[in-house]
Amino acid sequence: MADGLLADLVLEGGGVKGIGLVGALSVLEEQGYAFHRIAGTSAGAIVGSLVAAGVKATELQDIMREVDYLKFRDPAFLTHLGGVGAGAEILFHQGMYKGQYVLDWVTDQLQKAGKHTFADLRLDDPGAAPDLQHTYRLVVMSSDLSAGRLVRLPWDYQADLDVDPDGQPIAEAVRMSMSIPIFYEPWRVGNSCFVDGGMLSNFPVGVFDRTDDAEPRFPTFGIRLSGRPDANQAPQKISGTLDLMKAMVATMMNFHDQMWLDQRSVVDRTIFVECGKLKATDFDLTKTDQDMLYQNGRAAATAFLDTWDWEAWKKAYWQPSH
């Protein structure tokens, strides 16, 4: 396949399963694809921020393998006291874990790549759709509970928080995006309260789609970690209040994007990575689990590209409204 192929990317959230994204990315890179813009939620925001910063998939594989995922569970003070303490932290601080380790880790990785604020990810793109106020290489999703809406950062910084997007730290936006309810304390800015973007859109596959009738310049590929829309989902065991809360969050996070996946045009541009029985919050991920996720990502992307045809996709699904 010739060099110089461009694609936008949309990366689904999936917690510790994010290494499956890296496996899929590695195949896309090997086949000559460069990534113009990247959107992501939660784990997709973590991986996407590093891709946007210029980190290649081979480097990402090493980075993700070296992570001690157990450190992602940086307990708040009372969580050390066990189940009762964790319940108290949820009651008083709305999360069992602080999320400071993730923030520091992402900040460090971006610093190594020479990136800090969204000004470092500005994209000179005169051919972009005119309805976007700003153009950046990265867009991450977070849910603003105070306003009751999905925010796309950095696009919505000005409207949502009245701040200059260029001056905002990339890692803070990622931390806002991965604030899984119950597990992590929400991110607060003034009177605004932000949690995981997956509450409203874990797979924002349409974020880069044009609405101005212009023919798309290159494809948007989605990489999904939660299976095909027709996959059988294992029932969740509900044995207590905490299980009930977790199940409610998981159901809410899946429902919105399931509507997207009812569209054949979305399914046909999405790479589905099989993740077995692993959950987003399985922080005790083993090296074997990591290898499985990475190889499954590679296998899924290889199978996808074997049948992918950009011109056929446009012919089937794109047409101007007039």
For tokens 């999703």, the residue is 141
Active-site pick, 8, 120, 144, 196: 196
C-alpha–C-alpha distance, residues 245 and 38, integer Å: 31
C-alpha–C-alpha distance, residues 195 and 187, integer Å: 7
Residue 107: the pLDDT is 98
Is beta strand 149-153 parallel, antiparallel or unpaired with respect to 192-196? unpaired
Dihedrals phi, psi of 293, to nearest 5 degrees: -60, -45
Which of 269, 290, 267, 266 lies closest to 278, judged by CA? 290
Residue 246 token pair:
């977790």
For tokens 């460069």, the residue is 34
Other C-beta atoms lying within 10 Å of the C-beta of residue 165:
21
C-alpha–C-alpha distance, residues 209 and 295, integer Å: 29
Give percent helix, percent strand, percent coil of the chain, each to the nearest 5.
45, 15, 40
First to last CA, the chain: 35
Q: 249 and 181 in contact (C-beta within 8 Å)?
A: yes
Q: Up-side HSE of residue 269: CA atoms within 13 Å toward CB?
A: 27
Residue 28: the pLDDT is 98
Which of 194, 184, 200, 196 lies closest to 144, judged by CA? 194
C-alpha–C-alpha distance, residues 120 and 285, integer Å: 33
Residue 95: the pLDDT is 64
Q: Using alpha carbons only, how large is the chain's radius of gyration in Å?
A: 19
C-alpha–C-alpha distance, residues 153 and 286, integer Å: 32
Burial class (CB in 10 A: 0-12, 13-18, 19+), 8: buried
Q: 28 and 221 in contact (C-beta within 8 Å)?
A: yes
Q: 64 and 149 in contact (C-beta within 8 Å)?
A: no
Residue 2: the pLDDT is 37
Would you write out the chain's pLDDT as a tens digit for each of its 322 residues? Answer: 334 699 999 999 888 899 999 999 999 999 999 999 999 999 999 999 999 999 999 999 999 888 888 888 776 544 444 554 445 445 445 567 888 999 999 999 999 999 999 999 999 888 777 666 568 999 999 999 888 889 999 999 988 889 999 999 999 999 999 888 777 888 888 888 888 888 788 888 889 998 888 899 999 999 998 755 544 455 556 555 555 555 555 555 554 445 556 688 999 999 999 998 888 878 888 999 999 999 999 999 999 999 999 999 999 998 876 5
Q: For the chain, where are the E strands, in sequence order?
A: 5-11, 33-41, 95-97, 138-144, 149-153, 182-184, 187-189, 192-196, 220-224, 270-272
196 a catalytic residue: yes
Active-site pick, 8, 26, 42, 142: 42
Which of 133, 142, 167, 139 lies closest to 154, judged by CA? 139
CA 91 distance to own-chain centroid: 27
Residue 250 token pair:
């998981």
State the DSSP H helix or E strand holding residue 264, giving kind and residue range, or none if neither.
Answer: helix 264-267
